[in-house]
Structure 1
């Protein structure tokens, strides 16, 4: 154990760790700044109400980070670990379907109440689950068949589980999480090393099943395009026409971005957080950052998140271990997709989906699951460095 810790300390990915830490602390500062009015007026609490809750979330998240950072990533391919991860996702999605909440507040039944913890969003766990399960399943099958001979029919179970997970998220009508789950699945498969033709066959299978899921929802449930979702699509096309209804958030996001200009109004000086922009501490926290800190705030966030995505793909390209490659590429693509969807919604580039900004937005489930993922990525990075040193010696 002592030898393992010594080797770990020598090969720890400090740049990746400090980027993750600085982004989380920067997010904590901006959560305090953006949520003061919401805390006082809506929650009838002290101005630092959301800040204190996020400090607790970060404490739990850091403990989780330490666990996954020291847990050897190769164990995720163990059948017992895969089974435990699957049982957890099954329990969470059954729970959210039977006793979930959020439909009345945001139009999406996406949260469960965990006694002693608070609200938990199963779709956040599902993102990490798909990465680990897909990577482990492909890795185990490749050891038996080799990637060159791997066919979609030989990986029926991960495809089937992916369908169930995406269907579960779709029935919550969490469109943003659905898009990210699809992007993650494609990224993990693309990085597995399977031949190009086989990849397109697999992609075709995923696309066919995904289309079938959407068709079933459209015909029998009618939940995918709720009134809230339809309003977001209409307001995306012309937000100012729907400024009093579904376009309210996007229009006020524009006002925040325009009001900040290049230099920003100054930390704590946002106008749009004073009741004009709903939930400024979650989905639209980037608009507040732009308003208060201007181009420098944008630079900090984009540079930090971009570095994490770059490091993830860089590790995936360097390592010779297929399992490490798929995990690293999956985590990098997850953070990349989620960042794009959030910023795209804030700036009006794409319709709003209710996706948070990684490491920056307020939210316990998001920061905890992302911290677990960062621990796994740093563990993969450490083993990749050891592998590279052995090859050079």
Structure 2
């Protein structure tokens, strides 16, 4: 293969978004490991749904992708309730003077829209096979692909997930801490309308969240995300999706979602181990990491994918703003990307890890102080506005 400006390893949502954005910026891009997104389910929703913040939505809209999503399957979050220790912190889109606090959409739906856009983008070449071997000579990567062909580039992007091979090839170290928890997801039907409200509670059984989904066929639906201790997660998975519902019942009061009951399973349970993980650097000679390849945080804030998309935005801005004499893999250019992402990535890592520690089972003695802090924050409008603004991502990407 002829030399490419950029080669991306990893054909998931972040990798596809990076390929499209860079190609639209005028670079020649080769995306390896790009497989078509799954078709929309005949009924119900796909298992993987994400809360897209305002920065991610604006980015996808700028790529002309957001408008291609089936809007009848995208749920705006009008309100959010975060509860713990008998206290609650509530956010309202109207009170914050914003259209929505977030938008809940299926990962596969976003990928299908990206696939469509990439078909018409001349600067992007997609191959289904991944990168099998990689060697860097100090100026250029020689990449052996799954079909035996060799691609050459001055910039290799790792968008290949938490077990990134690109990270290993570039010799980038990793800080990793298992949480001893498993993330469980399952779509549920509920008896009454959710009103566009997202619920989250810190409980002795882990962090439990209910994300609103658009009604389908007259049925009200939510997506359950439960960060459960490993032993409990094993029990819940063994009980199956229908067996999960009775276990959720005892936590509905804490969530503030009891009025939505009864619940019924509308899909199977998905599961993944929860870890805190950060690459020791987002860049190395001729290399940059995106998304989970660079950082994995606890899902309690729902910002993992948003961080990855904001990585892409920052990298595109740096590459398009480089000097005429600077190559895309220039060390000075890549250092600017690393600096641009350092503050937000570290801030969310500290915030999510700190909350996980604060509400750990062994910290129950802090419950009165935690409740006081949560209730106090709920009455501080300027602080709530600041928190909502940071969560939107717009203040970071401005």
What range describes the TM-score normalised by the shorter chain of this pair?
under 0.3
State the structure with bigger RCO (CA 8 A, min sep 6), 1 or 2. Answer: 1
TM-score, normalization by structure 1: 0.27
Of Structure 1 and Structure 2, which has the larger fraction of its residues in strand?
2
Of Structure 1 and Structure 2, which has the larger fraction of its residues in helix?
1
TM-score, normalization by structure 2: 0.26
